[in-house]
């Protein structure tokens, strides 16, 4: 393990002095500050609206349940999109040439002449890169919390638990993309090919959630009619519809209900789309961050870039202060497992290829 740590320390220092890494890190810091300011402004605006609503409700003898106090997690919601993109770029920049670069400059061949095993090299490089990601994200989260406290925004106990969970999930998300880029670096002949492969994979996983919904729709065909004449007048989903026969004053009344075929169609379509989207780390992270930061019991907008017809009784829940962090996290356990599996498979593929690679 000592040799792995030596390699990890060298890799950590290499990232710390890399101009590319520092540029992306600087962009992440700047965008995070913009997001923090935007989130704090939005929180203060919603807090003013909440106080005004509470004051108005008390004047007309309405209960306080008519409105909901904003959460300080709005700040992290505001910077989440920046983490989604810049965090991805940071992770990829650390991994796409971690092996291919050393192949090109001959340092890998020179390193293997020393009494060090190949597994120590790739394990050490992985440890060093993941350690750097951990330090960067921890610094960003601490900076965000410091800004919040400075502005008088104090998180509750549940908020801190959610922030901690969100940190772990953000790190897992970044590690997933680092693992993917490491695969490309290990299998590619040079850094240029590694960049091309990595960009291709990124394009696929980013566009997949936007295209899968429509692709599944084309495969399933046209949706059934939404409303049909009800045969059960007592049906809970029935609606009293007046049908005009064309003569003034001459109309009939029929009970309409939502077609079971229509409901089944959209349930099946959403389920298939959700399964396909499990391949995309971007979609998985969006689902996880959504339930954690918005205090939801289950994801609502699981299909990015599409106007999905969602039955909220089936697929989502409205935000509620009664929903604990563990409840939110348990609803996206499949998405978490998906990120873990993708990371493990990618790291395993990198390990196997590197152990068998000819570096002459």
pLDDT tens track for 70-104: 888 999 999 998 888 888 888 998 888 888 777 77
Average pLDDT over residues 10-22: 87
Q: Which residue has the higher pLDDT, 231 or 199?
A: 199
Q: What whole-number distance in Å separates Cα of residue 186 and Cα of residue 174?
A: 18
Q: Model confidence at 111, in pLDDT bands (50, 70, 90)?
A: low
Tell whether the model's pLDDT for residue 312 goes beyond 70.
no
Please give the pLDDT value at position 308.
42
Over pLDDT 70: what percentage of the chain?
Answer: 78
Residues 6+ apart with CB under 8 A from 175: 91, 130, 133, 343
Nearest alpha carbon to residue 87 among 167, 200, 191: 167
Q: Model confidence at 349, in pLDDT bands (50, 70, 90)?
A: very high
Q: How far apart are the first and last CA of the chain?
A: 26
Read off φ and ψ for residue 254, nearest 5 degrees.
-130, 145
In the three-class reduction of DSSP (H, G, I as helix; E, B as strand; rest coil), residue 231 is classed as coil
Q: Which residue has the higher pLDDT, 169 or 298?
A: 169
Q: Which range has the worst mean pLDDT, 161-165, 280-284, 313-317?
A: 313-317
Average pLDDT over residues 46-74: 70
Q: What whole-number distance in Å separates Cα of residue 197 and Cα of residue 151?
A: 44
Q: Model confidence at 317, in pLDDT bands (50, 70, 90)?
A: very low
Q: What whole-number distance in Å separates Cα of residue 203 and Cα of residue 210?
A: 11
- Over the chain, what is the mean pLDDT? 80
**Using an 8 Å Cβ cutoff, are 73 and 40 in contact?**
no
Average pLDDT over residues 260-268: 82
Q: Model confidence at 168, in pLDDT bands (50, 70, 90)?
A: very high
Q: Record the pTM.
A: 0.80
Please give the pLDDT value at position 1.
66
Q: Model confidence at 60, in pLDDT bands (50, 70, 90)?
A: low
Please give the pLDDT value at position 358.
65
Strands in 6-119 per DSSP E: none
Q: Model confidence at 172, in pLDDT bands (50, 70, 90)?
A: very high
Residues 6+ apart with CB under 8 A from 124: 3, 4, 5, 6, 7, 8, 10, 11
Please give the pLDDT value at position 325.
86
Please give the pLDDT value at position 47.
86
Give me 241's structure tokens: 């519809």
Please give the pLDDT value at position 231.
58
Please give the pLDDT value at position 102.
75
**Using an 8 Å Cβ cutoff, are 196 and 151 in contact?**
no
Tell whether the model's pLDDT for residue 337 goes beyond 90.
yes
Please give the pLDDT value at position 241.
46
Give me 145's structure tokens: 């919390």
**Using an 8 Å Cβ cutoff, are 44 and 157 in contact?**
no
Tell whether the model's pLDDT for residue 273 goes beyond 70.
yes
* Cα dihedral across residues 5, 11, 16, 22: positive or negative: negative
Q: Model confidence at 309, in pLDDT bands (50, 70, 90)?
A: very low
Neighbours of 130 (CB within 10 A): 20
DSSP 3-state percent helix, strand, coil across the chain (nearest 5)? 70, 5, 25
Half-sphere exposure of 52 (CA within 13 A, CB side): 6
Average pLDDT over residues 35-45: 90
In this structure, what DSSP letter does residue 116 have?
-
**Model pLDDT for residues 173-182, shown as the tens digit of each residue:** 999 999 999 9
Please give the pLDDT value at position 247.
54
**Model pLDDT for residues 180-207, shown as the tens digit of each residue:** 999 998 888 888 888 898 899 989 988 8
């Amino acid at each position: 393990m000592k040799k792995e740590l030596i390699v990890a320390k060298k890799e950590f220092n290499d990232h710390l002095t890399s101009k590319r890494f520092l540029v992306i890190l600087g962009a992440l810091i700047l965008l995070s500050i913009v997001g923090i300011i935007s989130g704090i402004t939005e929180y203060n605006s919603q807090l003013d609206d909440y106080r005004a609503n509470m004051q108005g409700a008390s004047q007309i003898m309405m209960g306080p349940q008519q409105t909901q106090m904003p959460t300080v997690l709005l700040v992290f919601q505001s910077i989440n999109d920046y983490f989604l993109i810049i965090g991805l770029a940071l992770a990829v920049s650390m991994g796409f040439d971690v092996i291919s670069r050393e192949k090109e400059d001959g340092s890998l061949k020179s390193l293997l002449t020393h009494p060090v095993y190949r597994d120590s090299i790739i394990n050490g490089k992985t440890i060093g890169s993941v350690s750097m990601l951990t330090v960067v994200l921890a610094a960003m989260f601490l900076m965000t919390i410091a800004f919040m406290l400075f502005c008088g925004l104090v998180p509750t106990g549940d908020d801190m638990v959610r922030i901690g969970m969100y940190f772990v999930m953000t790190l897992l998300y970044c590690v997933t993309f680092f693992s993917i880029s490491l695969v490309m670096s290990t299998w590619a002949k040079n850094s240029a090919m590694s960049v091309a492969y990595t960009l291709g994979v990124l394009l696929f996983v980013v566009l997949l959630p936007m295209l899968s919904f429509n692709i599944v729709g084309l495969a399933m065909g046209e949706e059934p009619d939404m409303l049909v004449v009800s045969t059960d007048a007592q049906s809970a989903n029935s609606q009293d519809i007046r049908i005009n026969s064309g003569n003034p004053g001459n109309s009939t009344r029929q009970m309409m209900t939502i077609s079971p075929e229509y409901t089944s169609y959209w349930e099946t379509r959403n389920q298939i789309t959700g399964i396909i989207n499990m391949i995309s780390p971007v979609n998985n992270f969006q689902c996880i961050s959504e339930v954690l930061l918005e205090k939801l019991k289950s994801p609502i907008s699981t299909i990015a870039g599409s106007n999905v017809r969602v039955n909220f009784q089936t697929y989502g829940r409205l935000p509620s202060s009664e929903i604990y962090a563990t409840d939110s996290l348990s609803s996206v356990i499949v998405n978490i497992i998906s990120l873990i599996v993708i990371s493990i498979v990618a790291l395993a593929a990198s390990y196997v290829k590197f152990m068998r690679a000819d570096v002459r």
